Structure 1
Amino acid sequence: MKSKIWLSSPHMGGTEQNYINEAFETNWIAPLGPNVSGFELDLENYLGGNKNVACLSSGTAAIHLALVQLDVKRGDEVLCQTFTFCGSANPIIYQGATPIFIDSEMDTWNMCPNHLEEAIKDRISKGIKPKAIIIVHLYGMPAKINELLSVAKNYNIPVIEDAAEALGSTYNSRKCGTFGDFSILSFNGNKIITTSGGGALVCNSLDDKKNTIFYATQARDSAPHYQHSVIGYNYRMSNISAGIGRGQMEILDKHVALRQKMNTFYKESFKNHKGVSVFQEYTDKIISNHWLSCITISEVAKFTKEEFQKAMNDANIETRPLWKPMHLQPVFKNTPYYGNHESESLFNKGLCLPSGSNLTDKDRERINSVIACFN
């Protein structure tokens, strides 16, 4: 059997090992050290806008610490995009709060500003003003930030921007990950760049960064002994992982360009397939990193989603359905939801396709040969 073509596998640039070796040679094998500080500085310089970055163990941890610092607690409600990975929503539960799920709009597949405002008005009418809003840039596609932030500002509700999938994407020439009261990044093994596992919280002030590090290192008070006045967490990134990240930052722009090239490849490959749409920018004001290239297959296509997925699987090529909306997950079955089932429609007809920056011309030939079978 031919080797597996993965959806999005790690792609090293070559210098990562140098940073790791230096950490071993200097015995910085800990959740602090020069690689952590260096990686944070690299990210701050890349994002611009005088942001302050705290590197953590995961993007989920970053969302959790954003909620902690926004004082989200038991009995509160947090508005969250329903069309996303569970890591966007689960930290709401960690805090004992209730997620309120908001449907997508069809231009970007992200949170719909109209449904967001509808939900805010309805929750306020029920006596509970939402404590925060979690917006996601799905598959690297920037959300309708101006409209969403306008709604949030009108009701004075802070925004957590989940840019886990969107490092390198831009909205009106501004980097995703710089729009929220807090923003989060992910460096999981399948992301644009990876630290094996890891994430970061992007803060608007140095004080917020210091508070994030305080909470991420078990909230130890300034005392000659171990003293804790609040609950903390073991969420800090290790110096070894950060070393991988420093090497990855050197090839970030190259990897973004290669992911975008894969999206162009799919647009060309499917251009004569009626009923198949490749997910792409709806306006030139946004640029997606195309972390994952996705397609939707409508009822007028010559093949179904299931038929295409089987053909790809038979060729040992990985595909994956789009995220199952959170409001349809068994664990959230009794959770409030506002929308018109747009995300459910996308889930039913959409697939993620191999998108890695390390895919070769031979890989593309194999993928194209499966697509050609449906001509």
Structure 2
Amino acid sequence: MKQHIFLSSPHMSEEGYEQEYIKEAFDTNWIAPLGKNVTEFEKEMTAKLGAKRAVALSAGTAAIHMALKAIGVSQGDIVFCQSLTFSATANPIVYEKATPVFIDSNKETWNMDPKALELAFEKYQKQGKMPKAVMVVHLYGICAHIDEIVEICKKYQVPLIEDAAESLGTIYHGKFTGTFGDYGIISFNGNKIITSSGGGMLLINTEDAEEKAKKVLYWATQAREPARWYQHTEIGYNYRMSNIVAGIGRGQLKVLDKRVEKKRYIYEYYKENLGDLDGIHFMPMMEDTRSNCWLTSIQLDAECKVKPLDIMIALEEDDVESRPIWKPMHLQPVFSDCDFVSFVEKLHVVDEETGADNSISGEIFERGVCMPSDSKMSDEDLERVCDVVRKLWR
């Protein structure tokens, strides 16, 4: 019987680092939020990535929410947000009763198009309404055109949030994603390159990083005032990471480099064994970038006889997981009233069933597939996947 192949599943360290930290938490009876593991996890992540400060939280979504609050996003504000992403990127904007304005991607990175971002600034500047923040995403571990985006944000003096939930370990010009902007977001969800079974982290890179971290911690612990009684002057949240979860994260961080190497190996294997197929293209990689290749993703030419759904169904029939590219936020019914800025003229729907349009992000969604990229995959597993895919071209 064939073994099930996952898209990207949790992969605990072979050395058992996670159990060591968890055992210490149990031995000291420190299993609630806060504790040594939480504190050390934050310090170790800061040292690894080069951020000024890190705050461990209950989810990557919570980290995005806290970044928006730290910037001061509130009702009536707008936030420029990459459209091609998971909904967790955009949802916290609405938590604060602000409005997302979605920005199209470019073909070179699949991420936010700096030209479209500049266009959005020009458009809203004419209306006398500037965004409170910009949110860029490093999709599937692909680094965005971050230098250009940083410069545009500096030009307009608008804070930048990097959603690096999928790109932990990706390096551009010797610097980790999540440390270019004012704030960076990491996710430790079960399918990420390292996991703590859940959880996330907020990276703070501002001049007042320590002060911001204290404020985030205050909000994340129900905004309780330092009084002898329970007193609250602001609405808070239950966003702190537990000491147990942080212990798993500490153990996982020790094997991050190994996981990146394996993910990159998977990308290269697919590229070598499927790259010759007519009409298939692999996710782009910028020069001077060392991507973590979290999920190796492909895009098919519009004229290709094989369609993304053909690949996903064929793999599913062989008990192999894959998934479609994220459906862009500007195409989601929940955000149908939000503005979308693209360099593509005359936008129109190209697929009535999926709702995909002819924007760059729409085309990537319409013609893309995330290939199984589990770090536990053997060469035999990879060969099996490639055999299934190659048969579709025969």
The answer to whether structure 1 residue 206 and structure 2 residue 210 are counterparts is: yes
CA distance in 1, matches of 2:168, 2:390: 32
Correspondence for 2:236: 232
Correspondence for 1:241: 245
1:134 alignment partner AA: M
1:129 alignment partner AA: M
The alignment's TM-score, normalised by the length of structure 1, stands at 0.97
Correspondence for 1:8: 8
CA distance in 2, matches of 1:371, 1:230: 54
Correspondence for 1:140: 141
Match of 1:26 among 25, 28, 35: 28
Correspondence for 1:270: 274
Correspondence for 2:350: none
The alignment's TM-score, normalised by the length of structure 2, stands at 0.93
Correspondence for 2:387: 369
2:318 alignment partner AA: A
CA distance in 2, matches of 1:252, 1:363: 22
- Aligned residues between the structures: 373
Correspondence for 2:375: 357
How far apart are 1:2 and its partner, in Å? 2.2
User: Is the contact between residue 105 and residue 112 of structure 1 (CA under 8 Å) also seen in structure 2?
Assistant: yes
| 51-60 vs 200-209, greater mean Cα deviation | 200-209
User: Is the contact between residue 273 and residue 301 of structure 1 (CA under 8 Å) also seen in structure 2?
Assistant: no
2:363 alignment partner AA: S
CA distance in 2, matches of 1:155, 1:15: 45
How far apart are 1:302 and its partner, in Å? 4.0
User: Is the contact between residue 31 and residue 238 of structure 1 (CA under 8 Å) also seen in structure 2?
Assistant: yes
Secondary structure, aligned partner of 1:201: strand
Match of 2:284 among 240, 255, 280: 280
How far apart are 1:301 and its partner, in Å? 3.0
Secondary structure, aligned partner of 1:89: helix
CA distance in 2, matches of 1:65, 1:84: 19
Match of 1:222 among 226, 233, 244: 226
CA distance in 2, matches of 1:193, 1:135: 21
2:93 alignment partner AA: I
User: Is the contact between residue 110 and residue 284 of structure 2 (CA under 8 Å) also seen in structure 1?
Assistant: no
The answer to whether structure 1 residue 102 and structure 2 residue 120 are counterparts is: no
CA distance in 1, matches of 2:234, 2:94: 19
Secondary structure, aligned partner of 1:348: helix
Secondary structure, aligned partner of 1:164: coil
Correspondence for 2:331: 328
CA deviations over 1:167-217 (Å, ceiling 9, x no partner): 100111101111111111100000010000100000121111111111111
Secondary structure, aligned partner of 1:121: helix
CA distance in 1, matches of 2:302, 2:69: 45
In structure 1, stretches of 5+ residues that fail to align are none
Correspondence for 1:259: 263
2:234 alignment partner AA: V
Correspondence for 1:197: 198
When the two chains are superposed, the root-mean-square deviation of aligned CA atoms in Å is 1.1
Correspondence for 2:112: 111
1:211 alignment partner AA: K
Correspondence for 1:291: 294
CA distance in 2, matches of 1:371, 1:121: 45
How far apart are 1:364 and its partner, in Å? 1.2
How far apart are 1:265 and its partner, in Å? 0.6
